[in-house]
Structure 1
Amino acid sequence: MLRSRPTRQAEASIWTREFSPALPTITKTPSQASLDIAWKELEESPKRISLRRSYDELRSPRRRFKRILPLMLALACCVLLFWFLAPGLYASLKESHNFLPSPPPQVLEPTQDLIEITPSQAPTTSPSSKASLVHVQAEPRITDTRKVRWPPMVTAIPETRPDTNSLYSGVTASSIDAQFCGGISPCRILLPLWIGEQESRSRMHLVQVLQLARSLNRTLVLPNVGRSRIGACGRWEFEVYYDVGSFVGPKTEADEGLVRKVMLMDDFRTWLEMRPTEPSGQLLFVDEKTDVDEDASKDKISPNSTEALSVYVDKTSLDVEDSRLRKVRCLPTKYRQLELETFAPMTVHIPPVDSFGGQFLADALAQDEIIRHSVLQGSLLDPIPEVLVLHWDTRHFPFPNLLDPEAMNLDYSSKLYSLARKLMQPPYLAIHWRMETVSPSLLPDCAEALVDTLTTLLSDPNLASGIQTIWFASDFPWPVSSSAADILNSNLEGDQTQGSMQIASSARRSNTFRSVSHEHVEAIGIFTSAFRKGGVLENWRLTGVTEELERVRREMEKEGKGYVLEEDDDEGVLLEDSGVLGILDKLVAMDSALFVSGAKRCGRVSSFTKQITDYRAKQKEANVPRNIVDIFG
């Protein structure tokens, strides 16, 4: 019902004044007749009348609603996501925090009736209860008759790092020693820190060191290897060069019953870390020097076994900056658990002859007087060091009956044998020329003599049948194959006027061959020119270990295989190691149909060459065809 005129008029004026100042003010009052007519029209057709507000007032609520609407939609999405993901999040949180499992659900017996609740029978519930009810009705009615195991079975135990405080709890040094040293406690170990010659002779010296360890009743740690050296500071493990299995077992009847006690380097370092107390160690330097000035500050002891030995004991403990350790700086870092303060370092000078008895050395080291002088910290319950760290720098062999590594069955790694067979397919001819010890003035003549020898051998159809490739093994630091000869000569021609050129350590094939003279380059040029077009050996291909390794690498990469010798050598650095390259040269030369090496004038009968010829001599006894060895010069 419409309000009276005065009231409507008053409210309209208030509205106009306070909320809509832009509207015009009503100045004329309608007559009574017009009001009666309007009233009559309203009674005949009623209409809804609303007062019109200003434009700004009408727009304000809509604007606020539009601003709030996105927030409300986002909130609704979050609620829905939480609704669907909450059960999974709770389960994962429960598993990660190892909550105790909830009691097993009760399983309905097969005799019980299942009750289905219909919507008409369902009581009034909250929205959450309704949602769960809908979920229950949607599931199929399946009776779980599986037998629930309680408590649940433990299938895995999470790994945790042990507490350092409890790491040695209940562990004794004797128990660790018995575990690593074949039940013997305390351990008596010999660690070869350094063997002072390159691989071919170092391999022979390792057999001498093994015999010394057996004489001292010590376990030999198989040293690391690297860059054609053997010692505890090498980069690679022992089995990279050699076959551990063949080295451990006895080969001859005389060795039966004598156990070769050896320990892998990894086991030795694990033993150091697991010991609750640091094992004692002593440095032993064995060389062929005579008495020198540096021995004046040491105590000299004359052993009872022989006067040929000179034994000196330092008066102080080992200094890591000692000049005798300049080639083996890894001792305080790799083997920091080794305690070297209890026993003073000891130096033994042995005669530089092969006839000297190695047993004299072993007897001197076991002499009571020498042991007492080496103890620095008063009296000890055990005056014998647990680890004897050996620095072996001799050129002769104190155990002359063990000069042949094959007698001790020290063979090369099976991986190197396999790789050598991939490098060359027989038949082929192999050359070994060690240029380091040859007088530079003789090198050009020796190169011509080598070409003449090859021409003579390959001219014989019986000897040269099927041979298309010449393998060249040398201490010359660069490849000399036909494909690389021109590049080699162009790179070195400018250096000939300078007399000699230093060889980078990474390029050396020999640790002692450090500079190349222009005579070396001239000799290599004479030799390689014979394989070029128009040369007397142009029908044969000249190659070497560098070229064939590159070929094998390309073939393996094409097949999608990794070009590595060891799994931990991701970058293939091992195949650039001078020791590995030298062993591959040796293995390839052993299996060649024809083998040529330098005579005394143009080379040297090195241990490298001798091991090849000795192997081929055994093959000749087995009637291997075309097992020919010749020399040039």
Structure 2
Amino acid sequence: MSLSQITRNSFLLICFFFLLWYISSSFYFEQKELLSNKNEETLTEVHLTSPLTLSSNTTITDDDRNPLEELNKKYCGKPTCKFLFVYSLGEQETKANLHFRSFSQLAEKLNRIMILTNVGSSRIGTCNKFPFDFYYNTNLLQKEFPNVLFKSENDFIFWLKERDQIKRKINNNDNKVIPPLSILHSSIKLHHKNTNMKTFYDNAVTNFDKHECISKFEPLMNTKDSNNSRVKYTKLFIRTTDLKTEKSRVKSSELLTKVLTIDEEILLVNGYVIFPLFPQIMPVIPYSDHILNEAQKIKDKLSSSYIGIHWRLERSTPELLPKCVQGLIKTLNKVMKEEGIKNIYLATDYPLLSSRSQSSTFKEITNYHHDAIRTLNETFKINTWVSLGGLEQLRKNDKYDKELNGSGIQGILDKLVCMNSNYFVSGPKGCSRVVSTFTKTIADERRNRIKDKDYSLLNIIDRWRIYL
């Protein structure tokens, strides 16, 4: 056999073995790929069918974790959620501000989450439709109470909703894994009518002092349905003298903390206490930036130099008002001449945008009231939050009409503008409400600023005189 034949045969043999190797390898890798794809499809199917979706944020898994505890960890940071929801505070904003601070102190003592109750119409209460941060700066509130976790009403509703979804998915006739909501509803009120009665805490009849606005949480929280909620009712009546002094509040706050240290998930409170609940009075809850900005705009429009007047007509004697307005005019002329101030800002409960007063408790407006304001306007150029275009963006939106046409956010704006005024005056007895938390808050803030060397403030507060 020649050399060329040997070479050709060797080449053919090599080609044969290479072809055999290629066919075998192709078959092996094709099978491996098919098996791999099949496994991936199987895993995908398992992944897609295993979770039982409740919402975009909540799933039930097949492991041993308690779904309610997992939900609570998400909202409350621990396996059990305990809320303090003071859903009604019976006074207007300045006093309600004080009471919300007191109940935030209680939330800290009880280690409960404090619900940021809705606001509106110069009130803090769940009947209102605006969120808490419409009035208040929640970031600064949190800094004041670093040990309290705050949640909005919307957060509370989301928790109720997801809890209810879990309950519906898991529970059946034979297996009640998720129990009904556990609720204590407590009415906490001051004995302002019977000052001799001692402070006491006791059980109360079903629905005792429960405000109808709480029904807005139905069907997620239905206090009338035992399958949804198991509710206990209690009442705490506090003697006035037990809250009037720092010393007396030590004992009463200890009692309050003791009786309300309970296991229920939700502590609902309808409160009307007038005075602070704890010995320490926390600083005023700071107002939202958008209100502070409005106050600064008004100050700028007044050339940063103005007299602030707080004239609350509600408790005035109508027949005295002609003399009251003449006394105010004399005082204004004197201050303007001596201090060289030309601008005047009036904060009042008298109607400015509509026929309704700017106080929810000021009902009877007479011709004496109309004549007094008319005389003042005819004597000076009187500026108000309305005339200076305050809260302009809110006034363009119909949903704020009710808020702005009565008592509402403008009361906070008035308060801030008067705090910033160079000179501040308010009415004497007979012309105005003298014992006013609103006026006291302004005076306290001005006193602190003067103490801190704010030389733009020329006085704390003066009351004009009437000449009989």
Which deviations, in whole Å up to 9, do the C-alpha atoms of 1:210-257 show, x marking residues without a partner?
Answer: 11222222111111100000012221011110100111114xxxx7xx
Distance in 2 between residues matched to 1:454 and 1:203, nearest whole Å: 31
Distance in 2 between residues matched to 1:333 and 1:398, nearest whole Å: 28
Residues 565/412 of structure 1: CA separation in 2 closer, same or farther (3 Å cut): farther
Residues 1:389 and 2:268 aligned together? yes
Match of residue 414, structure 1, among 272, 289, 293: 289
Distance in 2 between residues matched to 1:283 and 1:175, nearest whole Å: 26
1:34 corresponds in structure 2 to none
* Cα displacement (A) at 1:571: 4.8
1:193 corresponds in structure 2 to 87
* Cα displacement (A) at 1:606: 1.1
2:189 corresponds in structure 1 to 287
Distance in 2 between residues matched to 1:222 and 1:191, nearest whole Å: 8
Do the aligned partners of 2:89 and 2:99 also contact (CA within 8 Å) in 1? yes
User: SS of the residue aligned with 2:413?
Assistant: helix
Distance in 1 between residues matched to 2:124 and 2:310, nearest whole Å: 23
Residues 1:345 and 2:224 aligned together? no
Match of residue 439, structure 2, among 609, 618, 631: 609
Do the aligned partners of 1:203 and 1:405 also contact (CA within 8 Å) in 2? no
Partner AA of 2:220 in structure 1: Q
- Percent same amino acid among aligned pairs? 26
* Cα displacement (A) at 1:421: 1.5
Do the aligned partners of 1:281 and 1:338 also contact (CA within 8 Å) in 2? no
1:424 corresponds in structure 2 to 299
* Cα displacement (A) at 1:602: 2.8
1:310 corresponds in structure 2 to 200
User: SS of the residue aligned with 1:343?
Assistant: strand
Do the aligned partners of 1:177 and 1:187 also contact (CA within 8 Å) in 2? yes
Partner AA of 1:177 in structure 2: N
Residues 185/309 of structure 1: CA separation in 2 closer, same or farther (3 Å cut): farther
Residues 220/359 of structure 1: CA separation in 2 closer, same or farther (3 Å cut): farther
User: What is the correspondence of 1:469-548 to structure 2 with a 5 Å cutoff?
Assistant: 469-478=343-352, 507-531=356-380, 541-548=381-388
1:632 corresponds in structure 2 to 464
Distance in 1 between residues matched to 2:109 and 2:148, nearest whole Å: 11
Do the aligned partners of 1:212 and 1:358 also contact (CA within 8 Å) in 2? no
Residues 1:357 and 2:249 aligned together? yes
Which has a greater percent of strand? 2
Partner AA of 1:438 in structure 2: S
**Greater Rg by CA:** 1
Which deviations, in whole Å up to 9, do the C-alpha atoms of 1:78-99 show, x marking residues without a partner?
Answer: xxxxxxxxxxxxxxxxxxxxxx
1:238 corresponds in structure 2 to 132
Count of aligned positions = 379
Distance in 2 between residues matched to 1:544 and 1:291, nearest whole Å: 38
1:221 corresponds in structure 2 to 115
Residues 1:274 and 2:162 aligned together? yes
Distance in 2 between residues matched to 1:591 and 1:364, nearest whole Å: 38
Q: In structure 2, list runs of 5 or more residues that go unmatched.
A: 1-36, 41-51, 168-179
User: SS of the residue aligned with 1:424?
Assistant: helix
* Cα displacement (A) at 1:290: 7.6
CA RMSD of aligned residues (A): 3.1
Q: TM-score, normalised by structure 1?
A: 0.55
Do the aligned partners of 2:186 and 2:235 also contact (CA within 8 Å) in 1? yes
Distance in 2 between residues matched to 1:343 and 1:438, nearest whole Å: 45
Match of residue 593, structure 1, among 419, 422, 437: 422
Do the aligned partners of 1:281 and 1:339 also contact (CA within 8 Å) in 2? no
Q: TM-score, normalised by structure 2?
A: 0.73
Distance in 2 between residues matched to 1:165 and 1:189, nearest whole Å: 22
Do the aligned partners of 1:343 and 1:385 also contact (CA within 8 Å) in 2? no
Residues 565/264 of structure 1: CA separation in 2 closer, same or farther (3 Å cut): farther
Residues 624/365 of structure 1: CA separation in 2 closer, same or farther (3 Å cut): closer
Residues 475/247 of structure 1: CA separation in 2 closer, same or farther (3 Å cut): same
* Cα displacement (A) at 1:361: 4.9
1:178 corresponds in structure 2 to 73
Residues 291/477 of structure 1: CA separation in 2 closer, same or farther (3 Å cut): closer
Distance in 2 between residues matched to 1:442 and 1:400, nearest whole Å: 40
Distance in 2 between residues matched to 1:244 and 1:234, nearest whole Å: 18
Distance in 2 between residues matched to 1:524 and 1:606, nearest whole Å: 20
Do the aligned partners of 2:119 and 2:132 also contact (CA within 8 Å) in 1? yes
* Cα displacement (A) at 1:457: 0.5
Which deviations, in whole Å up to 9, do the C-alpha atoms of 1:477-526 show, x marking residues without a partner?
Answer: 236xxxxxxxxxxxxxxxxxxxxxxx96xx23111101112222232233
Residues 476/191 of structure 1: CA separation in 2 closer, same or farther (3 Å cut): same
Match of residue 468, structure 1, among 342, 352, 364: 342
Distance in 1 between residues matched to 2:128 and 2:455, nearest whole Å: 40
Distance in 2 between residues matched to 1:396 and 1:165, nearest whole Å: 43
Do the aligned partners of 1:225 and 1:237 also contact (CA within 8 Å) in 2? yes
Residues 363/394 of structure 1: CA separation in 2 closer, same or farther (3 Å cut): closer
Distance in 1 between residues matched to 2:292 and 2:313, nearest whole Å: 26
Distance in 2 between residues matched to 1:565 and 1:245, nearest whole Å: 26
Residues 457/361 of structure 1: CA separation in 2 closer, same or farther (3 Å cut): closer
User: SS of the residue aligned with 1:232?
Assistant: coil
Partner AA of 2:221 in structure 1: L
Do the aligned partners of 2:307 and 2:422 also contact (CA within 8 Å) in 1? yes
User: SS of the residue aligned with 2:139?
Assistant: helix
* Cα displacement (A) at 1:387: 0.5
Structure of higher RCO (CA pairs closer than 8 Å, 6+ residues apart): 2
Partner AA of 1:416 in structure 2: I
Do the aligned partners of 2:327 and 2:464 also contact (CA within 8 Å) in 1? yes
Do the aligned partners of 2:253 and 2:278 also contact (CA within 8 Å) in 1? no
Match of residue 60, structure 2, among 132, 149, 169: 169
Distance in 2 between residues matched to 1:478 and 1:451, nearest whole Å: 20
Distance in 2 between residues matched to 1:390 and 1:350, nearest whole Å: 14
Residues 339/417 of structure 1: CA separation in 2 closer, same or farther (3 Å cut): same
1:336 corresponds in structure 2 to 219
Do the aligned partners of 1:191 and 1:232 also contact (CA within 8 Å) in 2? no
1:204 corresponds in structure 2 to 98
Partner AA of 1:580 in structure 2: I
Residues 1:456 and 2:334 aligned together? yes
Distance in 2 between residues matched to 1:388 and 1:581, nearest whole Å: 32
Q: In structure 1, list runs of 5 or more residues that go unmatched.
A: 1-149, 152-161, 293-306, 372-382, 480-502, 532-540, 554-562
Partner AA of 2:277 in structure 1: P
Partner AA of 2:389 in structure 1: L
Distance in 2 between residues matched to 1:245 and 1:335, nearest whole Å: 30
Partner AA of 2:88 in structure 1: W
